[in-house]
Amino acid sequence: MNSIYERRSIRKFQKKDVPVELLNKILDAGRAAPSAKNRQPWKYIVFGNEQKKEFLRAMEDGLQREEKGITDLKKSQHGLPDARNTLRIMQEAPIIIAVMNINAKCPFLPIDHDERITEICDSLSIGASVENILLAAQEMGLGTLWIANTCFAYRELAAYLNLEDQLVCAIAIGYANEAPKQRPRKPLEEIVEYRL
């Protein structure tokens, strides 16, 4: 339980490599997550060093396109400054993990109702997998940041990855260079309704 309450989103990382052995343990924790119909829809692509720089160049290209107003996310443009800051954080982190849904395609393509339900269930499964990764990293003394701002550069990142699988999110991993306080949480009475 301690990792659940001690985990924080880390936005400052030390310049220190993360051993592959630790990454394997963390990713194995992600693999152990429950999944709808046991589909295990996740795939992780781990980037470091020059490969990470190439991945982030693709994200930079996407953010520049968005900033020019060429966008699939017209109602989300207010999030671009945060996405720009997220890119800076990703550049500082030694490791970036791209998290893919192997059963889904580009989110900008239309899908039918059955496919939408499958996509939702697989996204929940991937969320469980990501949470396992975050908690395992916390247990091993590493800091993480769960990143959804990849959505702003979706097309560029998908082209760089050269995969038809859906890019769901990314995770920055490294040794924390900060110890932030917990951000406010809603009280239980606001979010729980008992009908016993």
Cα distance between residue 196 and residue 192, in whole Å: 12
| Domain positions in the chain | 2-191
CB atoms within 10 A of CB 196: 2
Share of the chain above pLDDT 90, in %: 99
SS3 per-residue string spanning 159-191 = HHHCCCCEEEEEEEEECECCCCCCCCCCCHHHH
Q: What is the pTM of this model?
A: 0.96
Radius of gyration, alpha carbons of the chain: 17
CB atoms within 10 A of CB 193: 6
Assigned CATH class of 2-191: alpha beta
Burial 151-186 (b: 16+ CB within 10 A, else e): bbbbbbbbebeeeebbbbbbbbbbbbeeeeeeeeee
pLDDT, tens only, 156-175: 999 999 999 999 999 999 99
Residue 1 is predicted with a pLDDT of 87
User: What is the pLDDT of the chain when averaged over all its residues?
Assistant: 97
